[in-house]
Amino acid sequence: MDITAAQSFARAWLNAWNAHDVEELVNHFAEDAIFTSPVAAQLLPETGGVLLGREAIGEYWALGLQRIPDLHFELNDLYVGVDTVVINYRNHTGALVCEVLRLADGLVTRGDGTYLTADAAGESGA
């Protein structure tokens, strides 16, 4: 992935989050995408933190936005690999977070939310 495409993707991703537009967010993901998050493990323990498919990912994010109505992200850094983008951002509480996103044909096939703390849900306000 080239840096221009990665920057465009990250801007669109960030704008969708800050608009709280779950539909636009999930449009960045393949239908059979997998997303993991320690926040999901805390909010939805039955998932073990692994969300399977665009629908499950969207439902989790909708729940998160309900619980955190003031959610807002600010881009800190962007890292680009062959087929991977890492979006390093600061959330509404000031915590640093990284989303590690693997893409194919412009859509995320695998994503992993990563945090600096064991209590990711608590730190995020969820």
The neighbour count for residue 62, using CB atoms within 10 Å, is 15
Q: Taking the mean position of all CA atoms in its chain, how far away is CA 62?
A: 12
* 87 three-class SS: strand
Confidence at 29, pLDDT banded by 50, 70, 90: very high
Task: For residue range 8-23, list pLDDT tens digits in order.
Answer: 999 999 999 999 999 9
Give the integer Cα–Cα distance in Å for 57 and 51. Answer: 6
Q: Structure tokens of 21?
A: 């537009």
Q: How far apart are the C-alpha atoms of 122 and 107, rounded to whole Å?
A: 30
β-bridge mates for residue 59, sequence order = none
Contact 48, 124 (CB under 8 A): no
51-79 pLDDT per residue, tens: 999 999 999 999 989 988 999 999 999 99
Task: Spell out the CATH class of 3-124.
Answer: alpha beta
Residue labelled with tokens 């800190």: 76
Q: What is the pTM of this model?
A: 0.90
Between the CA of residue 59 and those of 20, 26, 75, what are the distances in Å? 13, 10, 24
